[in-house]
Amino acid sequence: MATTTPLTQTDRERSALERREIDASCRVPVLYFATSAAFWLLVGTVLGIIASIKLHSPYFLTGSPELTFGRVRMAHLQAVGVGWSAMMVMAAAIWLMCRLSRVALIYPTLLVFAGTMWNIGMIADVVGILSGDAQSVEWLDAPSYVPPFFITGVGIVSAWTVATFRRRRELHVYVTQWYILAAVFWFPWLYTVAVLMIFWMPATGVIQPVVNWWFGHNYLGLWLTPIAVGTTYYIIPKVIGRPVHSYYLSIIGFWSLALFYSWAGMHHLIGGPIPAWLATASTVGSMMMFIPVIAVAINHHMTMLGSFQRLKYSPALRFTVFGAISYTAVSFQGSIEALKDFSEVAHFTHYTVAHAHLGMYGFFTMTMFGLFYYMVPRLTGREWASPTLIRVHFWCDAIGITIYFVSLSIGGWWQGRMLNNPNIPMPNIIEYLLRFLFARSLAGGLIGLGHLAFALLLVANLMGWGRQRSGGPTYFVEPAPNAGDVQG
């Protein structure tokens, strides 16, 4: 990317043609993964809203075992945390790997098979949990018959990624590719070890929660985060037409994330019945996470410097930058949260739920929406039907996650303070929290509205109800003539 040789018009046209050919080869498998992901996002949103309402209005939809709070909450986490996130991560990995390696997609049928494995697994997962087969192991609630589908699916995608990488025609390996390669290697290992040590050959006692949180934290840190950070490294320079600020900062960011993130998980068990050194080791790992996060933040900020006005025009850029800023915020917060004194209050409260949603939604999901708005028109050849709907989508989600985060952070903090004061009885804490939980339901409704706009746009695009892509990308407003070569 960091080339300084001026490109001739012929060079540009040749690259554009090559990209179009690669995109055409990606169309079916990548859209299959991406639309499946979007479907699970919608399922998860409905489940999330139901679970949220139940926390302040216990008579809401009570009476059927399928819709009891615990099951809906587990199904919500599986639908968004595994269905949406993992399938979207795979869609991103497949498309970006093809583009950055400059090779047409190989073995499309195999990828469709892998996606189908994942979809079958997800149906069995959500239906199984709602009908009473859940495992009650956070992030790993999928019933016992589900993991083989996931392992097969992701195993194929991982092998495919390596095979594509080995066929690369571009000699320079871009930072996004490092993240993709590492993530597709880490996740199958992580998942298999976790399933093995918790379900297939259960380890003794508290080793299970140790494995559980090593998995739970690394699922975000070594599977979703690398691909989402890799996506921001791709989308931001592409849209604003400038190379990444510093190659060396991206190297520091990558290797320090690889080393420190994987050590951070045990802070979920601070104060619990595990050896104290385990939690301490993870607190150190969490503090060291400042390094990769600051490296990435500086790199993105310096890349964006002078191009912030383009947030007005480009939907892809606006979602991606929102995600990148949330990444910095949620990571800083996470490092502080891992400190023992802080955790003594925040642990076991909605504060942690707010933090998790800032990461999974504010960072990961918003970044992936950015990728959607950039990628899908290039795959379908159609532009987005309505900039207004994109605007509705953005503002509903941005305001929704803000209300969500602020209300639960405040409520959760005081919940923790009150839980630590033995003179405050439980009923008072439960009653105090109701207003914040109600605000969270409102936020969830707003986010759901945004997702509805997103789903309409996606369906319209897939049905071919937009203008041809050759007319240039969809903008919120047309850029001023001197705004430069805005590309997305």
For the CB of residue 59, give the shortest distance to another protein in the complex, in Å. Answer: 6
> Is residue 241 part of the contact set for another protein (CB under 8 A)?
no
> Is residue 7 part of the contact set for another protein (CB under 8 A)?
no
Which CB sits closer to another protein, 149 or 263?
263
For another protein, the binding residue among 148, 205, 306, 464 (CB under 8 A) is 205
For another protein, the binding residue among 103, 146, 197, 224 (CB under 8 A) is 197
**Residues 36/118, Cβ–Cβ less than 8 Å:** yes
For residues 151 and 200, what is the distance between their CA atoms, to the nearest angstrom?
A: 14
For another protein, the binding residue among 3, 4, 5, 136 (CB under 8 A) is 136
> Is residue 186 part of the contact set for another protein (CB under 8 A)?
yes
Which CB sits closer to another protein, 195 or 235?
195
Q: Which 455-474 residues touch another protein, going by CB under 8 A?
A: none
Letter for the amino acid at 333?
Q
As a dihedral over the C-alpha atoms of residue 354, residue 360, residue 366, residue 371, rounded to 10 degrees, the angle is 180
Q: Which 417-446 residues touch another protein, going by CB under 8 A?
A: 417, 419-422, 426-427, 430-431, 434
For residues 254 and 474, what is the distance between their CA atoms, to the nearest angstrom?
A: 32
Which CB sits closer to another protein, 103 or 198?
198
Q: Which 354-383 residues touch another protein, going by CB under 8 A?
A: none
Query: 307 CB contacts (<8 Å, ≥6 apart)?
Result: 240, 242
Q: Give start and end residues of each alpha helix (H) in 57-106.
A: 69-78, 85-101
Which CB sits closer to another protein, 49 or 211?
211
Structure tokens at 145: 């018959």
Segment near another protein (CB under 8 A), from 8-16, 34-42, 117-125, 182-190?
A: 182-190
> Is residue 278 part of the contact set for another protein (CB under 8 A)?
yes
> Is residue 265 part of the contact set for another protein (CB under 8 A)?
yes
For 393-432, letters b (16+ CB in 10 Å) and e give bbebbbebbebbbebbbbbbbbbbebbeeeeeeeeebeee
Segment near another protein (CB under 8 A), from 41-49, 116-124, 261-269, 444-452?
A: 261-269
For the CB of residue 129, give the shortest distance to another protein in the complex, in Å. Answer: 8
For the CB of residue 434, give the shortest distance to another protein in the complex, in Å. Answer: 8
**Residues 488/474, Cβ–Cβ less than 8 Å:** no
For another protein, the binding residue among 110, 163, 353, 389 (CB under 8 A) is 353
Which CB sits closer to another protein, 39 or 351?
351
Which CB sits closer to another protein, 148 or 205?
205
For residues 202 and 195, what is the distance between their CA atoms, to the nearest angstrom?
A: 9
Q: Which 54-73 residues touch another protein, going by CB under 8 A?
A: 54-56, 58-59, 62-65, 68-71, 73
Note the Cα 302 to chain centre separation in Å. 23
For residues 398 and 445, what is the distance between their CA atoms, to the nearest angstrom?
A: 13
> Is residue 166 part of the contact set for another protein (CB under 8 A)?
yes
Q: Which 144-163 residues touch another protein, going by CB under 8 A?
A: 162
How many residues touch another protein under the rule CB under 8 A: the total is 91
For residues 227 and 364, what is the distance between their CA atoms, to the nearest angstrom?
A: 9
For 32-64, letters b (16+ CB in 10 Å) and e give bbbbbbbbbbbbbbbbbbbbbbbbbeeeeeeee
Segment near another protein (CB under 8 A), from 10-18, 147-155, 258-266, 311-319?
A: 258-266
Name the burial class of residue 78, with classes exposed (0-12), middle (13-18) and buried (19+) by CB atoms within 10 angstroms of its CB. buried
For the CB of residue 418, give the shortest distance to another protein in the complex, in Å. Answer: 9
10 Å Cβ neighbour count for 299?
24
For residues 309 and 340, what is the distance between their CA atoms, to the nearest angstrom?
A: 41
Binding string, 206-235, against another protein, x = CB under 8 A?
xxxxxx--x---x---x-------------
Which CB sits closer to another protein, 250 or 461?
250
For residues 285 and 371, what is the distance between their CA atoms, to the nearest angstrom?
A: 30
Which CB sits closer to another protein, 32 or 254?
254
For the CB of residue 273, give the shortest distance to another protein in the complex, in Å. Answer: 5
> Is residue 89 part of the contact set for another protein (CB under 8 A)?
no
